[in-house]
Amino acid sequence: MSPTIFKEGNYRFHFFSKEEERIHVHVISPDGEAKFWLEPIVSLVNYSGFSQKQLGCLQKVVEGRKDEIIKKWKKHFKG
């Protein structure tokens, strides 16, 4: 199961259920995919296909919506 948190342009921000306990978010688009941890600070874990410019923009989106993502994580995982 991979619930969508939100979409922005061609990017889909989502979770993979039962992947790991550390709060994180996945981003996917036709260009590639990436994974960001949210705590203690937003940080890129891994990626493929995205340019450095795209990764910078995606990190800013995650940072700007961090509270929303964490809230939806906790609701989804009942934490």
Q: What is the pLDDT of residues 12-53, one digit of tens each?
A: 999 987 778 899 999 999 999 999 999 999 999 999 999 999
Kindly compute the dihedral angle of the four CA atoms of residues 31, 40, 68, 44, in this order, to the nearest 10 degrees.
Answer: 0
pLDDT the model gives residue 63: 98
**Percent of the chain, pLDDT > 90?**
80
CB 23 within 8 A of CB 36: no
Domain total of the chain: 1
Tokens linked to 3: 């619930």
63 versus 79: which is more confidently predicted? 63
pLDDT the model gives residue 79: 56
pTM (predicted TM-score): 0.92
Domain that holds residue 15: 4-77
